[in-house]
Copies of this chain bind each other. A is one copy, B any other.
Amino acid sequence: MTKPQGNPTVRMSDVAKAAGVSTMTVSRALRKDGPISEETRTRILDVVRKLNYVPDLTAGSLSSKKSGFVTVLLPSLNNLHFAQTVQALTETLETVGLQILLGYTNYCSDKEEELIELMLRRRPEAIILSYDGHTERTEELLKKASIPVVQIWETPERPIEHTVGFSNFDAARQMTCALIDRGYRKLAFLGEAHDAGTRGAARRAGFVAAMEEAGLSPHRLVRHKTPPVSITTGAEAGRILMETYPDTDCVFCVSDPAAFGAMSAVLESGRKVPDDIAVAGFGNFEISQYSTPPLSTVAVDPWRLGSAAAQLILKVLDAAKTGNAHALPPQHIETKVEMVMRESS
């Protein structure tokens, strides 16, 4: 199956020639709204099909100064919630022909900075970042790029521009309160080390705040490995927890996977969930209601987050186009979170 190398690519000029028109007319025929007679359009589209012409967007972008790209930077794809956010973003953006350039920061702000530099070379029309702390240079680069920036999955104190998300601090505080309400007093928090500036750290801070407000000591903090906690590292952390703070009656985990791991460690040790140690997570992944026992967790809506962010992008881009030279002032969309209490607590 040797490839028919050098298969000469069909260009717009080939179509133009075959249809007996200029390239501009072909170009117009190819968009929905181009000012062109129905007759010429159908004739051209016929030729396009006959010649199997595939427009070259690289050339188009260069000429029109519109790349058609939106950059999306997330910590990792290895998390169904981010994956869902991406799918939601894609679905909305593709309705207007925008394509996503995806990057993974691995929860590392230096990697993020690197990626942004790289992505900016493709001249994206907007950029969506998941908040987890950014380097100074990242913020500089973004400002210089003068394209809309949307931070998602958090409502940062000092946002770069637009935001779509919720307060991880508040959400964690709420869950901690809910657990305290259920009668637990010796609560622990299970999270990552080296989480400075991340949403995980915000959740931990929310836990600490709620504990202090309730007059309880928030000293039971297990911080194991770097983000993200997997189920396996969650289990390790669970074992550390039981050894370090054997009096713990409830452990609130930075994420659902961490909670699955912790729960498995607890059960394996012969203790019962929730009777000996209650467990709660963060995220409400689909599996969480099917675990044994079903997991109490903070429900977030990754799908809604993605589509809200995408719609915001469209709105901002549209405002910029409409000559609104100053575009829109920074928008802040708050998405809801919900405490879902199940049998694990």
Residues of A within 8 A of B (CB): 1-7, 52, 54-59, 61-62, 67, 76-80, 83-84, 86-87, 90, 99-102, 104, 117-118, 120-123, 143-146, 161, 230-232, 235, 257, 260-261, 264, 267, 286-287, 290-292, 325-327, 329-330
Contact = CB atoms under 8 A, between A and B. Distances in A.
A14 to B, nearest CB: 14
Contacts of A2: 326-327, 329
6 shortest A-B CB distances, which residue pairs?
A77-B83, A292-B292, A57-B121, A7-B146, A2-B326, A264-B290
Nearest to A326: B2
Contact of A121 (B7, B55, B104): B55
A122 B57 contact: yes
A121 B230 contact: no
Centre residue among A55, A100, A290 by max chain B CB count within 10 A: A290
9 contacts: A4-B143, A6-B146, A56-B121, A56-B123, A58-B62, A77-B87, A99-B122, A235-B290, A260-B290
Contacts of A325: 5
Contacts of A145: 54
A146 B4 contact: yes
Contacts of A146: 3-7
Given A231-B290, A287-B231, A1 B330 contact: yes
Given A5-B325, A286-B231, A117 B54 contact: yes
A100 B120 CA distance: 15
Contacts of A230: 286
Contacts of A231: 286-287, 290
A123 B261 contact: no
A125 to B, nearest CB: 12
A321 to B, nearest CB: 12
A120 B10 CA distance: 13
A329 B1 contact: yes
A6 B65 CA distance: 13
A45 to B, nearest CB: 14
A86 to B, nearest CB: 6
A344 B165 CA distance: 39
A100 B327 CA distance: 31
A127 B62 CA distance: 23
Nearest to A264: B290
Contacts of A326: 2-3, 5
A79 B84 CA distance: 10
A64 to B, nearest CB: 10
Given A56-B121, A146-B7, A104 B78 contact: no
Contacts of A292: 267, 291-292
Contacts of A90: 104
Nearest to A293: B292
Contact of A78 (B83, B122, B123, B261): B83
Contacts of A161: 1
A232 B286 contact: yes
A100 B115 CA distance: 13
Contacts of A104: 87, 90
Nearest to A267: B292
A80 B56 CA distance: 33
